[in-house]
Amino acid sequence: MDLSEEQILTLAPDESSKKSGKDLANPAKWVSKGISTRALWGECQGSGSKPYQTQIDLTNLAFKCSCPSRKFPCKHGLGLLLLSARQPALFQQTEEPAWVSEWLNKRIEKEEKKIEKKEAAAPVDEAAQAKRQQARQQKVADGITELLLWIKDQVRSGIHIAPAKTPAWWENMARRMVDAQAPGLAGMIRTLGNTNFFREGWQSEYIDQLLRIYLVSEGYQRLDQLDPGLKDDINSHIGFTINQEELKETEGSLDTWLVLGKQITEDEGLTTERYWLFGTTTRKYALILQFLVRGQGAQLSLTPGLFIRAELVFFPSAAPLRALIKRQVQADAAGEGEGFADWQQLTAATAATAGILPFANERPFVVQRLIPIRHGGQWWLKDDRQTMMPVKENFRKIWRVLALSGGQPLNMALIGREKTFEPIGVWHDHQYKMI
C-alpha cells in the first residue's frame, strides 16, 4: 500500500496522536519490524519491560496494538505506518510472527462467524413486526400533524420573529418529534434552530430549511402517491432505518472508488465519520457513514486520496448516495480526477437531482480546472468558461487551496448543494491532496 505521509496523518484521531506518531516514525524506537503481503508489524519499546506489539492489516487497513491507549489508531500504529512510508527499505518481506498471524486469522474467523450467526438466526415474527411498524407510523403521523401546524404558524406570523425566540422554542418541537419516533425530523428542527440570526441574509437559510422540513412532512402524508425511491427518501429523513445486513444481500456496484475525503463531527459523545467516494468507471458518487460511541474502535478506515476496489450497495433512494461496502480489496494510489468539465455541467446535474429529490443534502462532486479568486469581498471558484461559484462562507482552508493553485487551474473535489461549495481535495502535480 503506497501511502503518503499526508494520507497517513488523516487517519489520526487527534492532533496529539499526529505529533506522537511522527516522533515514533524513527527506526531507533522499534525493536523489530517486518512486512508480508497481508500485514505490517513491529515491536516498539515503551516505558514497560516488554515492547508494545503493533500490527496493521494492509488489506483493509485495520490496526491493533498491545499498548493501553484507547485511541484508534494509536500513536504506535501511526508511527509504524509513517516509518514504512518514509523508509520502506527497512521492512523486509518475511514470515509473519505468531502474534500477527493469529490476529489476522481471528479477523477472518470473526467474519465467518458473523455469516454463520446470520444464517442460523431465528425467523422473524412478521405479524408482530408489522404491528409494531403500524403503531410507529401512527405516532409519526400524529407528530407531523402538530409539526405542520407549527410551520404554518411561523409563515402566518412571519419569520422575522424567529430571532426573538429562545432556543427552547425549537428544542421543544424537536423533542416532540423524538416522542413521535421521528428522530430525523428532530435533527432537522435543531438545525433550523441553529441558524445564525446575526448573519446578513439569515432569512434565506432559515426559510430554506423550514421548506425542507415542510416537504418531508407533507411527503409523509402522501407516501402512497410517491414513487418507491422518493418514498424511501421520505422515510429515511423521518428516521426509519433499513436492515443493513439485508441490504448487503442485494446486488452492489463493483468499481474502483476514489476516496475523495473524510469529515468528522462530534455530538454528545457520538462521533460521525463521513467518507466521500467517486466511482472511476460508473462515475457514481457515494457516502459511507460510520458512527462511533466514545471509546469504541472504528471498524472502517478509508484513506483520502486512495483508490479502493470494492462493491458498494446503495441505500434505496430517488437519487442514491449513501452506501455500504459489501466487499473490498486492497487500495492503490490515486490518479488524476476526471469529473464535470465546468460549472454548467454540474448545475445541470444538480438541477436534475433536485427535480426528483427536492430536499437533497450536500453531495460530493469533482469539477475540472477551477481557480480560486477573490471578488466583491468573497472567495469564488472560476472555471474555464469564466463562470464563478461562491465558496462556502467562512471556509478557513481557502488559503491552502490558493497556495496549491498559485493562480493555476486545479481539478477539485467539492462538497455542497445548490450554489455553495466547499473544496475537500485537489489534484496538484498529479497527486491528490486533502484540503
Q: What is the pLDDT along the chain (435 residues), one digit of tens a residue?
A: 667 788 888 888 888 999 999 999 999 999 999 999 889 999 998 877 889 999 999 887 889 999 988 888 899 999 999 999 999 999 989 899 999 999 998 888 887 777 667 666 656 677 887 888 899 999 999 999 999 999 999 999 999 999 999 999 999 999 999 999 999 999 999 999 999 999 888 999 999 999 999 999 999 999 999 999 999 999 999 999 998 888 988 989 999 899 999 888 877 667 888 999 999 888 999 999 988 776 556 677 788 888 888 999 999 999 999 999 998 876 565 556 678 999 999 999 999 999 999 998 899 999 999 999 999 889 999 999 999 999 998 899 999 999 999 999 999 999 998 788 999 999 988 888 888
Cα–Cα distance, 420 to 366 (Å, whole number):
14
Q: How many CA atoms lie within 13 Å of 46's alpha carbon, on the beta-carbon side?
A: 17
> Is cis: bond before 73, omega within 30 of 0?
yes
pLDDT value of residue 306: 83
Q: How far is CA 176 from CA 135, 142, 145, in A?
A: 17, 10, 11
SS3 of 19, please? helix
pLDDT value of residue 394: 86
C-alpha cell at 62: 485495520
End-to-end CA distance of the chain: 22
Q: State the pTM of this model.
A: 0.77
Strand 39-44 with 52-57, pairing: antiparallel
The neighbour count for residue 356, using CB atoms within 10 Å, is: 14
DSSP state of 185: H
pLDDT value of residue 185: 96
Of the candidates 278, 264, 313, the one whose C-alpha atom is nearest the C-alpha of residue 10 is 264
Element (H, E) at 403: helix 398-405
